[in-house]
Amino acid sequence: MTLSGGTLTSGTSSGSSRGVRSSGSEGDVQLQALMDLKRKRRKESNRESAKRSRLRKQQHLDDMTSQVKQLETEKKQLITTLNMTTQSYAAVEAQNSVLRAQMIELDSRLCALREIIIYRSNAGQQLSSATAATQYPSSMMTATASTGYYDVFSANAWSSGMQLMQQPIDLLY
């Protein structure tokens, strides 16, 4: 303990009034004024800290509000883009469906035309053979009775009624 200015203090300076003894009422007033000043400074510091904290909180809230607005705008744009894409997809899908139906129709027409060609080809061969046999019996391909072979020099493919094979070209890929 030391004595300074009429005040007896202990070796610790914790700021508490324990261990502080005053030699008079003047020392009590000074001590009370010092404590009041410290309390006032602490309160002011706390007020400033709370004010800064409120400002930071308000800034954070403003930032979050701004971000929410930006994200809502982006969401609306994405929904619009998605709707347009969905409509485009539906239109393309419908067009694809129409094209597939047309392809099936054209394929069936092609098959029918091939059948007609084959039928006409077969009917034409049968008709020309029958016609040649009835109109030109001597020019038919004949085998001689004695040799049993076809006389190549006396008949050709055109005059003998021999038809070339006429088959439609297969256009399937």
Written in H, E and C, the secondary structure of 141-158 is CCECCCCCCECCCCCCCC
Closest CA to 31 of 57, 51, 6, 2: 6
CA distance 21 to 4: 11
Question: From edge to edge, which strands make up the β-sheet containing 7-9?
Answer: 2-4, 7-9, 21-22
**pLDDT score for 126:** 73
**pLDDT score for 142:** 46
**pLDDT score for 135:** 56
Q: Is 40 helix (H, G, I), strand (E, B) or coil?
A: helix
Radius of gyration of the CA atoms of the chain, in A: 58
**pLDDT score for 97:** 95
Which amino acid appears at position 33 of this protein? A
Contact between 23 and 6 (Cβ < 8 Å)? yes
Reported for 132-138, long-range contacts at CB under 8 A and 24+ positions apart, including other chains, are: 132/160, 132/161, 133/161, 136/161
pLDDT tens string, the chain, 173 residues long: the values are 454 555 445 444 444 445 545 456 888 899 999 999 999 999 999 999 999 999 999 999 999 999 999 999 999 999 999 999 999 999 999 999 999 999 999 999 999 999 999 988 887 777 666 665 555 545 444 444 444 444 444 444 444 444 444 444 555 54
For tokens 């007020």, what's the residue?
47
pTM of the model: 0.42
Contact between 10 and 1 (Cβ < 8 Å)? yes
**pLDDT score for 141:** 46
**pLDDT score for 134:** 56
**pLDDT score for 157:** 43
